Amino acid sequence: MLELRGVSKIYRAGEGEIRALDGVSVRVEAGEFVAVRGPSGCGKSTLLMAAAGMARPSAGRVLLDGEDLYALSPRRRAAVRAAKVGFVFQMFHLIPYLSVWENILSPLVAGARGTRDDARAIAERVGLTERLGHRPSELSTGERQRVALARALLNRPQLILADEPIGNLDPENGRAVMDFLAEFNAEGGTVLLVTHEELAAGYAQRTITLERGRLRP
């Protein structure tokens, strides 16, 4: 489903450089649930952004379902991402002036495959039916993350990329979000999760560890 081959990512800093990733090779099979762990600043989020087609590597290749993402035009890469990938982030990235319903529907603007009927079914599945008319500021932290998850599921993605999805949640809400991801995985979806949390990592079938931009044996 997803493969990183010898991926490096270098950021320029003044006259020096920061090597966020250093020759990382990772293969995630379809239907796997993989967690990426490591200390802050080790390159976990950079790896996820590279995997998403949102941070071009300085070296190496990223293949999503057999397609080399960075060999595609920006428009084609965005289309592949919209068709196959869902995102869940620690900070939710909801649009504050839109309602819950409008936030869930927002991927349709980018050409997602879902429908309004799909959106209603997903909202019910994650317990948001009574909140569809509310703005994000009127929701609890756990509810905001469930909106983000519903939005990610709308296009029926093959892969969900999750960056610290329960980092701002209490244990009860954290387990609820992880249960939804586990259900997505049990139905055949693939999950690549970046996390510091033992709770979240415990849901993964396999864990890889980054240290200073390299995979730890």
pTM of this prediction?
0.85
Share of the chain above pLDDT 70, in %: 98
**Closest residue by Cα to residue 76 from 96, 105, 93, 53:** 53
31 sits in the region (left: phi over 0; alpha: psi -120 to 50; else beta) called: left
| Widest Cα–Cα separation across the chain | 54
**What is the CATH classification number for the domain harbouring 208?**
3.40.50.300
* Torsion region of 6: left, alpha or beta (phi above 0 gives left; psi -120 to 50 gives alpha): left
Higher-confidence residue of 39 and 51: namely 51
**Under DSSP, is residue 112 helix (H, G, I), strand (E, B) or coil?**
coil
The per-residue pLDDT for range 57-111, each reduced to its tens digit, is 999 999 998 899 999 999 888 888 888 888 887 777 888 898 999 888 887 766 6
What whole-number distance in Å separates Cα of residue 171 and Cα of residue 90?
A: 14
d(CA 80, CA 75): 9
Q: Tokens at residue 146, please?
A: 């469930």
Residue 72 burial (C-beta neighbours within 10 Å; 0-12, 13-18, 19+): middle
* Res 15 pLDDT > 80: no
Give the domain range for residue 202: 28-56+83-215
Q: What is residue 61's predicted lDDT score, i.e. its pLDDT?
A: 94
Q: Does a structural domain hold residue 169?
A: yes
Please state, in angstroms and rounded to a whole number, the distance separating the CA atoms of residues 185 and 183.
5
Residue 1 lies in a domain: no
- Distance (Å, whole) CA 167 – CA 83: 27
Does the residue 75 lie in any domain?
no
Residue 162 within any structural domain of the chain: yes
Looking at the 3D structure of the chain, how many domains does it have? 1
